[in-house]
Structure 1
């Protein structure tokens, strides 16, 4: 079933909207966390930024598209480096950054933004991208999906070997 938003809104715009929502919700609620969570939030923001840099460098090195709205323009299937641990490292990084900002803002209300943002990405961006990549790269992509989880982690099943 196709949704009208599939691959239409650039994920970077949705990411900016999620950060704005975190900011807004943090202004509407009283801080209520232990100070150590601000540090954890800052570490998540830094980790997310590093993942974005690593993934972007791989896209550039392999001269394939970085524009997620046009997965049919992909010229290479990236399965090594950061892509060996996440099929969607930039989206994962966006989620870490959104969560990091919510923690750094010490806002309980803002914590709902990260899972909502990631659910949106999965439904309207990742699922359609996966369909294109499955069509374009066939069995190689299916093997990759068996080895590497959508968000984070590797599987070591017999089917993936």
Structure 2
């Protein structure tokens, strides 16, 4: 069963909002707000850049139909992470937690990652079937999320 990525993202966002609801009168440090804006901006740029690369490659961005991929995109944001759109969604959740000044509000990010991992695995299987060795080489050099090297 495919769950569109915006669904777990929205549920995590709502969970974050409920977590911080009781502390909404607590002042949030300016640095936390600024970090939230920065992380949010980078996340949106990552997602937008990815969509642009997929459009240039004339391939699908539909996670429900990875079998429709016509081109293996390994440039742009995809040279840094195999899942830049999912990473962008996670980044937006981190940005939201920073904006709200709540470390606890970052907890739903883990729930989001857990919720989308089966979809990512499905996409990886489809891409491996479609692109074979080229995809295997890509997997060998580009991390699923981020590299700490």
Q: When the two structures are superposed, what TM-score results if normalisation uses the length of structure 1?
A: 0.84
The one of 58, 62, 65 aligned to 1:70? 65
Residue 111 (structure 2) aligns with:
116
Q: Is the 8 A contact 2:28 2:100 kept in 1?
A: no
More off after superposition, 133-142 vs 25-34: 25-34
Shift of 1:119: 2.2
- Distance (Å, rounded) in 1 between the aligned partners of 2:42 and 2:69: 26
The one of 16, 28, 37 aligned to 2:22? 28
1:81-96 → structure 2 map (5 Å cutoff): 81-96=76-91
Q: Is the 8 A contact 2:67 2:130 kept in 1?
A: yes
1:1-161 → structure 2 map (5 Å cutoff): 5=1, 8-29=2-23, 31=26, 34-122=29-117, 124-153=118-147
Shift of 1:21: 1.6
Residue 159 (structure 1) aligns with:
none
Shift of 1:28: 3.0
Shift of 1:33: 6.0
Shift of 1:150: 0.5
Q: When the two structures are superposed, what TM-score results if normalisation uses the length of structure 2?
A: 0.91
Q: Is the 8 A contact 1:32 1:107 kept in 2?
A: no
- Distance (Å, rounded) in 1 between the aligned partners of 2:115 and 2:72: 24
Q: Which runs of 5+ in 2 are unaligned?
A: none
- Distance (Å, rounded) in 2 between the aligned partners of 1:46 and 1:114: 17
Q: Which runs of 5+ in 1 are unaligned?
A: 156-161
Deviations along 1:61-85, whole A, 9 cap, x unmatched? 1111111011111111001111100
RMSD of aligned residue pairs (Cα, Å): 1.8
